[in-house]
Structure formats: C-alpha cells, structure tokens
A = this chain, B = another copy of it.
Amino acid sequence: MRTLKYAILGMIHQKPMTGYDLMQEFESTLNEFWSANHSQIYPELKKLTKEGSITYILQQSDKGPDSKLYSLTEAGEKDFLEWLNDDEDIIKTPKDPFRLRVFFSKSMNEEDRLDLFMDHRLKHRKRLKHLQKQLKKFTHVPIKEEEVFGDYLVLMSAIMREESTIAWIEKCIELLKE
C-alpha cells in the first residue's frame, strides 16, 4: 500500500520540507495515527526522488550541516491527490498484546487480574490527559475551511478512542468486582 509514501507526499504538499522536518512532524502532529523513524524516512525520500514524485534543492544551513529541501513534482502531486480519493478498506483490528492477556487472564489469580486492569487504566488516563492538553491549544472548534480542521478531527479521534478504552476497562473492573 505504501502508506508512508503518501504520508510524506501529503506533508510535502502542505509545504516544502527536509527529511529532518518530516521526522519532527511524525514525532509531534502525526504521531497519534502515523509515525516513522529517520532511518525509514531518508531511504523513502531517496526512492521517491528516483521515482520522480519529489525533487530537492540543497540548502546551506547557518546552523549545522547542509540539508535537502524537498518539494512535490507535478507527477507527485497528481499521485497524492488521487490517493486521497481512493476507496480503501477499513483496516483490520490492530494487534493488541493487552487484549491478548485479557483473553487469557483466567489463568491469573484474582488480585493480579484486577491489578492488570488498574495499571492499564492509569496508563490510558495519562495518555488522555496529554491529548486533552493538546486540545486546549485550539481556542475554538475550527470550521471546515480552516487549515487546522484536519488536525482537530484526528485529535478528536484519538481522544474519543482513549475515552472509549477507559470506559471498557472500567466495565471490566466492575465485572471483576462483582
């Protein structure tokens, strides 16, 4: 499916970027639903250049070594815009070792079993708090014409997923305490 390719094309479509810029975007903004290390980004940029989707100009940096500023070619932009409209299937349920443990948890003693859920709830509450902090950066709910509308929607998705996960864990705890 080469989704990393489109993640990169999409980012560069917003504005020209270096590999390092992409790395930082993957760490911050996109992190909740896509990520990649620099060891994956640089080879992919090389490949996309060879395939003619992107080109770069060398930049002398005042601080640090030279960098390559990438932008989309016409072919690259066309490819990206077509991908946006592709009719793709929804993803398979992602693999989750925690749910696997829950599935097998009848082999644990009662106390450990309850702790498993309590620990897990704490971790998800922390992640939720972190996401809610990011939400506060929005002074208002963006309207669909704004640049940050997409950012808002995916942040909402991450928050709602965490809330739902916590609700599930609490249901489990309730059933365990009966």
Interface size on A, residues (CB 8 A): 71
| Closest residue on chain B to residue A92 by CB atoms | B35
Assess the A175–B112 pair: CB atoms within 8 A: no
Contacts of A65 in B (CB 8 A): none
Whether A160 contacts B149 in the complex (CB less than 8 A), given A13-B107, A95-B35, A124-B90, comes out as: no
Query: Is the CB of A153 closer than 8 A to any CB of chain B?
Result: yes
Docked pose: A27 CA to B126 CA in angstroms: 33
Copies of this subunit: 2
Assess the A149–B106 pair: CB atoms within 8 A: yes
Interface residues of A in 49-85 (CB under 8 A from B): 80-81, 83-85
Assess the B84–A105 pair: CB atoms within 8 A: yes
A-B contact pairs, 28 of them (CB 8 A): A3-B95, A3-B100, A7-B100, A10-B100, A10-B103, A13-B107, A33-B93, A34-B99, A35-B92, A80-B104, A80-B107, A83-B101, A84-B104, A84-B112, A87-B119, A90-B98, A90-B123, A90-B127, A91-B98, A105-B153, A143-B175, A144-B178, A153-B175, A156-B172, A160-B167, A160-B168, A163-B164, A164-B164
